Structures are given as C-alpha cells and as structure tokens.
Amino acid sequence: MPSDSSRHSPRDTRMLVTLNALPLAVGVLLSCSTTLGEISVYGRLTLGITWALTQLVVLVGGTWWYEKRAASSFEPASVTTAARSAGGAW
C-alpha cells in the first residue's frame, strides 16, 4: 500500500487524465478519416501532423504541471528521512 507521501490528489489525477483524453479522442477521430488529416495547414504541414504535435505539447505540459503540483504538496524528503531515523512511522 502506498504511503501518504506518494499519493496524488484525485482531483489532480482527474485533471491530468481529462487534459490528455480530449486531444486523444480528437486524434482518433482524425485518424478515421484520411481526408481530414491531409488538410494543409501551412505549406506541407498537415492537420494530422499539427494535431499530433499539439497532443505531444499537451502531454508534456500536463505531466510537468502534475509533477510540479505533486512535489509541492508534500513535505521535503529530508524531513521524512529524519522522522524515519528517529523511529517515526513509515
């Protein structure tokens, strides 16, 4: 069973999943129609490639946000280590 310090807020987890599920769903819909994915956005850049890059940016940005929130909401590791060495609960 995970310790209290390794648990993430359910709200943050829902936000991360929702943030990544929406672009994924649109990407699946775009992949079902080759004519939509081939629409030119700028020069040789197509809608399919643009959407894939957008998904990548959302994934990396959302993961960065999630990890930043998780790291800031718990006590530092040095305090946890000191409590353990003093005979504190795991």
Predicted local distance difference test score (pLDDT) of residue 3: 47
Predicted local distance difference test score (pLDDT) of residue 57: 92
Residue 14 lies in a domain: no
Residue 56 lies in a domain: yes
Residue 52 lies in a domain: yes
How many domains does the chain divide into? 1
What would the pLDDT profile of 30-55 be if each residue is shown by its tens digit? 888 888 888 888 999 988 889 889 98
- Which residues have a Cβ under 8 Å from the Cβ of 68 and sit 6 or more positions away? none
- Cα dihedral value 11, 14, 16, 21, nearest 10: -160
Q: Which domain holds residue 62?
A: 47-72
Low-confidence ranges of the chain (pLDDT < 70): 1-8, 73-90
Residue 33 lies in a domain: no
Residue 59 lies in a domain: yes
Residue 26 lies in a domain: no
Residue 51 lies in a domain: yes
